[in-house]
């Protein structure tokens, strides 16, 4: 009886020999009950024998890997993330694609963004905050602070107290005050920079989207949260609008503007009132504490909406005005001087939640008046300030993207 020609099906995982069988994985010869075993020939031999490189790849213990990956898929989500996290780190760190064979048997590494989001930044920030409060021995203060000054280019000649031995711990050093003449406040322009930092972006708000860095946007409503009722604001009832952006604009002919300022670790860490305005409402968003470094901001969409932030809302002479302090890694502590009820970076929070507090009450119907340049709050390390405000169409920014700016310098004017 004629037998159909056999084809190579793959190596036996136990013996390493090649399985030869007929169509459908079984022989058509009578009496054949098992596929024949054939030892692989030398590289490049006739008969279609695979090369050494192909044999090595095929002999990789795929069956065992699939079983292990199947066990991983049956785990709960937290346990799966815990088990997959170290493997993913090795996948990205090891050279020459050492773990790429795993992807051929069904394993998929976490994306770099998902991996970064899984880092317990809130826990690390609380630990850093505790470390900042530890009082340093007098002999150790100058070496530690000098290293920080050298690393981040801090100008201690501007500090109100230049003696490094004066600062008992890192927290006091980060929150150092400046000499009064170090930051003169511009009296001509209507809006000044609330802090030292780097201008990441500025301009008009368009299509309810705000740019965190060039080409990367986030939703205005997601960032500020639902609109605050007009009863808490001083200006008149807003005209009806179809979008969240239109609801914030209170006067005909005005536009909505934004400005994003990044505070590096070496910058002055306090922030001030950018104009004369009245604060009527505070909204606190618990959230992640990912880095707000411009490089990370280009990498993660809606980064500012994920991070913990404190939104101060009120009005100025042209209508709506808001200042938002965005937390970051090691900056879980955001302090607002006139708000003693604010507590940031709590151990637990509900994702997507926020806490509202009104500064308008029966005893105070005006809110909190702030003068331009007045102390407003502070961070424990570098972070970000976002201004979103209403102004007439002829408002002009006096800025360039990427430029360094200091507290008191002009942002724009009419």
Please report how many Cα atoms fall inside a 13 Å half-sphere around the Cα of residue 143, on the Cβ side. 5
Q: Which residues pair with 192 in a beta bridge?
A: 410
In the numeric block, which tokens belong to residue 288?
């992640």
As a whole number of angstroms, the distance between CA 264 and CA 216 comes to 20
Report CA-CA distances (Å) from 318 to 190, 191, 248, 277.
11, 12, 12, 10
As a whole number of angstroms, the distance between CA 113 and CA 128 comes to 23
Angle between helices 77-93 and 62-73 (to 10 degrees): 140
Kind plus residue range of the DSSP H or E element containing 200 = strand 197-204
- DSSP assignment of 29-77 equals STT--SPEEE----TT-SS-PPPHHHHHHHTS-HHHHHHHHHHHHTS-H
In the numeric block, which tokens belong to residue 123?
């826990």
Q: Dmax of the chain from CA atoms?
A: 105
Closest CA to 200 of 10, 4, 383: 383
How many other C-beta atoms can be found within 10 angstroms of the C-beta atom of residue 174?
A: 23
Query: Does 196 participate in catalysis according to the annotation?
Result: yes
DSSP 307: B
As a whole number of angstroms, the distance between CA 313 and CA 403 comes to 27
Please report how many Cα atoms fall inside a 13 Å half-sphere around the Cα of residue 112, on the Cβ side. 6
Please report how many Cα atoms fall inside a 13 Å half-sphere around the Cα of residue 172, on the Cβ side. 15
**From the candidates 21, 196, 267, 269, which is the catalytic residue?**
196
As a whole number of angstroms, the distance between CA 333 and CA 379 comes to 6
How many other C-beta atoms can be found within 10 angstroms of the C-beta atom of residue 169?
A: 15
**From the candidates 258, 269, 272, 284, which is the catalytic residue?**
272
As a whole number of angstroms, the distance between CA 173 and CA 59 comes to 60
As a whole number of angstroms, the distance between CA 312 and CA 278 comes to 10
Beta strands in 41-88 (DSSP E): none
Active-site residues: which are they?
Answer: 196, 272, 383
């Amino acid at each position: 009886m004629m037998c159909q020609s056999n084809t190579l099906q793959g190596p036996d995982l136990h013996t390493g020999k090649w399985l030869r069988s007929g169509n459908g994985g079984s022989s058509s010869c009578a009496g054949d009950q098992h596929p024949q075993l054939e030892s692989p020939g030398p590289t490049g031999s006739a008969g279609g024998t695979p090369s050494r490189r192909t044999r090595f790849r095929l002999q990789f213990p795929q069956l065992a890997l699939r079983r292990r990956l199947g066990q991983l898929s049956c785990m709960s989500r937290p346990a799966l993330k815990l088990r997959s996290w170290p493997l993913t780190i090795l996948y990205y760190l090891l050279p020459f694609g050492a773990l790429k064979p795993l992807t051929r048997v069904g394993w998929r590494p976490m994306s770099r963004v998902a991996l970064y989001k899984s880092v317990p930044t809130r826990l690390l920030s609380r630990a850093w905050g505790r470390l900042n409060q530890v009082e340093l021995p007098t002999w150790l203060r100058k070496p530690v602070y000098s290293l920080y000054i050298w690393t981040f280019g801090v100008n201690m000649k501007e500090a109100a107290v230049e003696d490094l031995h004066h600062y008992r711990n890192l927290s006091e050093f980060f929150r150092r005050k400046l000499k009064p003449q170090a930051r003169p406040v511009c009296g001509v322009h209507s809006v000044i920079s609330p802090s030292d930092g780097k201008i990441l972006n500025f301009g008009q708000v368009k299509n309810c989207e705000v740019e965190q860095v060039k080409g990367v946007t986030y939703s205005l409503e997601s960032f500020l949260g639902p609109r605050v009722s007009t009863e808490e604001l001083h200006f008149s009832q807003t005209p009806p609008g179809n979008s969240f952006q239109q609801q914030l604009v209170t006067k005909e002919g005005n536009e909505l503007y934004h400005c994003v300022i990044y505070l590096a670790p070496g910058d002055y860490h306090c922030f001030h009132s950018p104009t004369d305005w009245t604060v009527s409402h505070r909204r606190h968003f618990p959230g992640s504490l990912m880095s707000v470094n411009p490089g990370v901001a280009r990498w993660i969409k809606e980064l500012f909406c994920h991070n913990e932030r404190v939104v101060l809302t009120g009005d100025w002479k042209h209508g709506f005005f808001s200042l938002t302090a965005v937390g970051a890694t090691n900056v879980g502590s955001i302090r607002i001087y006139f708000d003693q009820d604010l507590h940031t970076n709590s151990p637990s929070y509900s994702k997507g939640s926020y806490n509202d507090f009104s500064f308008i009450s029966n005893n105070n119907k005006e809110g909190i008046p702030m003068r331009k340049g007045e102390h407003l709050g502070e961070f424990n390390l570098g972070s970000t300030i976002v201004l979103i405000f209403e102004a007439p169409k002829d408002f002009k920014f006096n800025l360039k993207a990427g430029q360094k700016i200091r507290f008191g310098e002009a942002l724009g004017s009419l």
